[in-house]
A and B are shown apart, each in its own frame.
Chain A
Amino acid sequence: MSERGRYGLMAAFADADTLVEASRAAHKKGYRKMDAYTPMPIEGLGELLGCGEREKAKVSWLALAGGVFGGCCAYALQYTSTTLGWYFLSGGKPANSWPDFIIITFEMTVLFATFGAVFGMFWLNGFPKLYHPVFNVERFSRASSDEFFLCIEDRDERFDIEKTREFLEQFKPIEIVEVPK
């Protein structure tokens, strides 16, 4: 038990099914501040752990915002730089040759949508977050390859070290550890 206090209680499971079962139970039991750690995405876990459709939609919205921003800027730049101020006659085409401007507008839309999605995801996930208490657990390194973890956090008002441990025991985890902050 470190001096920095406790982050939560973590249970390791051998397979995904048990983890899902446990998390579902925990959710039913009213635990809210908890998180599951799995080597690969597992359907439905998100909803149980408070990262539901609304949360995911944020990413989509950011992507859309990015796209719109990129597209508008691109067209605005092309339009203003050819029609306002001084411009050149080129190939007998008018200043605002909109068909010629479409491609760059499109490319920029796509590019900034990409940025929106990727950096939006980073932002929502709070990256970069190089240090995190869960890493203090020795076994946790397997979360990125073959084991499944459920961590009920200390800050959950229902959290009680004994009760929670009992609760987790019933799913026969490989191991239960306290996660120091």
Chain B
Amino acid sequence: MSVTDKSSGNIPGSINLATIRKKLAGTRGREYWKGLEQVAETPEFDEFLHAEFPRLAAMWDRKIDRRTLLKLMGGSVAFAAAGLAGCSRPIGVIVPYVNMPEGEIPGKPMYFATSLTLGGHARGVIAESYTGRPTFVEGNQEHPASLGAIDSYAQASVEQLYDPDRAQVATYRTIPGTWSAFIEQMGFQAAKMKASGGDGFAILTQSITSPSLLAEIRQVQKRFPKARWYRYQPVGREGVDAGAKLAFGERVNTVYHFDKADVIVSLDADFLGLMPGHLAYARQFADGRRQKPGKPIKMNRLYVIAGTPTITGASADHVLPVPSAKIDAVARSLAARLGIGAAGGTTEAQAHWLDAVVEDLKKHYGRAVVVPGDVQPPAVHALAHAINARLGAVGGTVTYTEPLEPDGAGSLKDLTDAIDHNEINRLLVLGGNPVYDAPADLDFAGHYARVEERIYWSHYPNETAYMSYWHVPAAHELESWGDALAYDGTVSLTQPLIAPLYHGHSAYEVLRVVSGANADTDYDVVRGYWRQHYRRYASNGEAFDAFWKRSVQRGLIDNSALPAKTPHLRDDLASRLPQPLFRQRRGLYLQFRPDDSIFDGRFANSAWLQELPRRLTKITWDNVVMLSPRTAERLGIDNKELVVLGYHGREVTGPAWIMPGQPDNAVTVQLGYGRKRAGRLGTGVGFDVYPLRRADAMWFDDGLTLMKTGKRVFLATTQYHQTMEGRGLLRTATLDHFRDHPHWVDEGYPGKPPKLHESLYPEPAEKPPLEYRWAMNIDLSTCIGCEACVIACQAENNIQSVGKEEVLAGHEMHWLRIDRYYSGNMEDPETYFQPVPCMQCENAPCEYVCPVEASVHAEGLNAQVYNRCIGTRDCSQNCPYKVRRFNWFRYQTGRPTSTPVAAENPDVSVRQRGIMEKCTYCIQRINEAKIAADKTDRRIPDGMVETACQRACPTQAISFGDLNTSHSKINQVKDSPLDYEMLAEINTRPRTSYLGGLTNPNPALAKKDKNA
């Protein structure tokens, strides 16, 4: 981390461009960065041995030296020394540039603003690059969809970039071919197509918001008038569009502004977890809940009508568990209470609940908002629009813009129908993995097989690739140019940090080649597009180069967010609403959800994401069948028991998971598992639920049957005990309680640490006073449990993944874990999250038990010196917070789960087998800052050092800083009456403290008294 770069925030644009042009021109990427490595030739070997014993390492890998070593061991040391001092032993090779790129300083990282997309929607990131080797991405503060935060998917992109299982070369019928051969053959066929006007040619894409790529597609359609374009996204938002059409008669893009909202009602919407813009939404939501020093005590209130437990539900003040299928009815009743349409059927309890909610909504006219979930049918969305209009939300808490994606693409169903009518003989699949993730009833694989010419472009040699003729490896987003729209329409630019490692090519190139146009590089295409269209956004009379440089530097095009518009709500909406769904239920409800970690299956081969505990279940490396406790009881199903899901004659078997807060009779399963060709890691993990999915019921349906098998399986969870045993570890209270008892965090909990004189030793034992006293605080009111910090920590600190077996053995390595506790009843419990990093105790119990001073106090922190550790593990035994992690085996290399060496952070040691490791407050960042400050003889300004977890956090729940800097942010936070230290009574004096969690329940529904 270079602080100078970050603080001034300047990311030298032209210089980078120069570098990048060079890179693009450069030879094969791999050698490129490898050649720049300023370490010996085989990094993994070095990292392994050097962590162990430098000289041994230097000797061990060469014959002659192995002999010497044996002599040394054999005992004739003097002889060895005398006899061999003569022969010089090269320590290694050092390889400089031939021509150093401008502005490159070997050993210093560079930062590039770029953006990564998920489901077509862009999140702006800043990518860190060490001598041309991307190692880390973090949020781009200037990007509206990121605001400096990042989600786990984006964080793992670095690992994905170096994934050795990525497609390495273009293949024809799975036989390695060449790019040039591909160009040749495509050119030939394009010529043929030209004659037929592209008859029978079709393109299947995922949702695309990229202006330049859309332009390219239009180009193709212009060149081949008969060519067709289809679009399929397993985690699609058809309901949203249809709902808008229903409500307004036109498609719109809905943008929420939770910072303006006092009352929020979520209709099955996981807007903190994974809606487009969820990072921004999380920030807005958290700002509404955070108690600012000196400001009046107030916070927003969140009601969630949840089809299945999500982190949004966990952060809510009131949750109403309702099967997704019945939320339609609930929504109607809610609307009816506001005078819109007719009520749907609701139970007594629900009715009472709704009355209270509606009261609250009415009370906050103009400051309330209703958020429909992406998985909900059009009717719910339409009603939500109507309700928002009725609540005066439009223009305030909700705004509408033009849709991000244009119309004009057919659905997957249209495609399969077309194939049935033999209208398609040439299909180009741009990304996605339809053979795996298409709804089963469409039998895409079967149809795909019937197409004569199948061309596929993607990252992995996956299920679809296996069925395709031509498979062209895709260039990763960190390897190619591009653009995409953020949730609010902001144009975000993607720039490569490295030449494609595996002969990857961009979608532009493929599209052009397939359509027989000249294969320009993605750089030319994207830049060319914006040269034509930049004037709309350029400040008047700005030259394109200046505009381009500015935009690429910032990773986005300034004020390109789509303007708000006010679509006209249909007056006869109520009458147009379709019949309520599921009047009477057959069997159980089946609900699909994208997975917390691997989304729709595209991240299945990422060890980081697979091992990232699922947000609520804390399960790794598996998906489960979620049942409510009552349902499980009724069906006599045991936790972790294999159950057979029967639906429309298809059957799928998976382990049951009894999920507190799951609505009764609703069974939730996660997409993306049971891959057949995902790669070494993803293949065969979990069970595939796409066979149960139908085009007419993408998200939920009834008619599910559940069958016991009696067989139980092992699920690798990272938390086995779910309640807090009444210990005051995590402290929460209601807002009202806080008003009456400002110091509630200390009341009724085990007390403060003992007085100084009670200790045998003079306290605090300190060397001459420290210049900096680093400390952390975590706000439990705003932590939403999204786990972005966990994976950010993993990426920053070279933490290894270990695989399912090791997690089962209790050997997981995450330095930062998020504890999840339940309280209340099983049906709708309160869910609490508590991130637990190292507490950096001042009286650290782990330190004095270490026999070799591997765990000592350094710079006021609780240091773990890896190269000194011999692995007695007494420190972990004596750590009351159990935040230490041990390398039980050789995890760092040679295992499929090992982090790719190139992705590892050169500023942090890679830990060897047999040593203890733990959170260091990102000491490498602190040291960089200290060095930078020391060179100019000034103190580190407040906020210059950000830990990886702090930076990643979407809600800014984590504050970090120096206690010696007066008025530093951390000092302000720690002055809050809510501040408390975990286990203070055992006198460990932690530097990490917490802000007691606050909730704001509705008095009218006085059940949820969160006062622990």
Contact = CB atoms under 8 A, between A and B. Distances in A.
* Bound together: yes
Interface string A95-106: 101011000000
Interface stretch (B17-25, B760-768, B782-790): B760-768
A2 interface: no
Contact of B857 (A89, A97, A100): A89
B766 A90 contact: no
A92 B844 CA distance: 7
Interface in B617-669: none
A105 to B, nearest CB: 17
Given A88-B857, A99-B760, A93 B766 contact: no
Contacts of A89: 765-767, 847, 856-858
A88 B856 contact: yes
Q: Chain B, interface size: which category?
A: 20 to 34
A94 interface: yes
Contacts of A90: 847-848, 850, 853, 855-857
Given A97-B761, A99-B760, A91 B848 contact: yes
B516 interface: no
A99 B761 CA distance: 10
Interface string B569-584: 0000000000000000
A81 to B, nearest CB: 11
Contacts of A88: 853, 856-858
Nearest to B842: A92
Nearest to B848: A91
Interface in A80-128: 88-95, 97, 99-100
Interface string B750-767: 000000000011111111
Nearest to B766: A89
**For the side of the interface on A, what is the size category?**
10 to 19
B989 interface: yes
B856 A92 contact: no
Contact of A92 (B764, B850, B858): B764
Chain B facing A: main interface SS: loop
Interface of A is mostly: loop
A100 B853 CA distance: 15
Q: Which among A89, A93, A94 has the greatest number of chain B C-beta atoms within 10 A?
A: A89
Contacts, number: 46
B852 to A, nearest CB: 11
User: Which of A88, A91, A94, A97 has the most chain B CB atoms closer than 10 A to its own CB?
Assistant: A91
Contacts of B850: 90
A93 B763 CA distance: 8
B760 A91 contact: no
Contacts of A97: 761
A90 B842 CA distance: 9
B207 to A, nearest CB: 56
Contacts of B346: none
B139 interface: no
B209 to A, nearest CB: 55
Nearest to B767: A89
B762 A91 contact: no
Nearest to A89: B857
Contacts of B842: 92
Interface in A44-95: 88-95
Q: Which of A90, A94, A95 has the most CB of B within 10 A?
A: A90
Contacts of B858: 88-89
Contacts of B853: 88, 90
Contacts of A99: 760
A97 B847 CA distance: 14
Given A97-B761, A99-B760, A91 B843 contact: yes
Contacts of B764: 92
A111 to B, nearest CB: 19
B377 interface: no
A82 to B, nearest CB: 10
A121 to B, nearest CB: 33
Contacts of B844: 91-92
Nearest to B762: A94
B856 A93 contact: no
B844 to A, nearest CB: 6
Nearest to B845: A91
Nearest to A97: B761
B848 A93 contact: yes
A92 B760 contact: no
Contacts of A94: 761-762, 765
Contacts of B848: 90-91, 93, 100
Interface in B849-893: 849-850, 853, 855-858
A57 to B, nearest CB: 40
Nearest to B865: A88
Contacts of B761: 92-94, 97
17 contacts: A89-B765, A89-B767, A89-B847, A89-B857, A90-B853, A91-B845, A91-B846, A91-B848, A91-B857, A92-B843, A93-B761, A93-B848, A94-B761, A94-B762, A94-B765, A97-B761, A99-B760
Given A88-B853, A90-B848, 18 more contacts: A89-B765, A89-B766, A89-B847, A89-B856, A89-B858, A90-B850, A91-B844, A91-B846, A91-B847, A91-B848, A92-B763, A92-B764, A92-B843, A92-B847, A92-B989, A93-B765, A93-B848, A100-B848
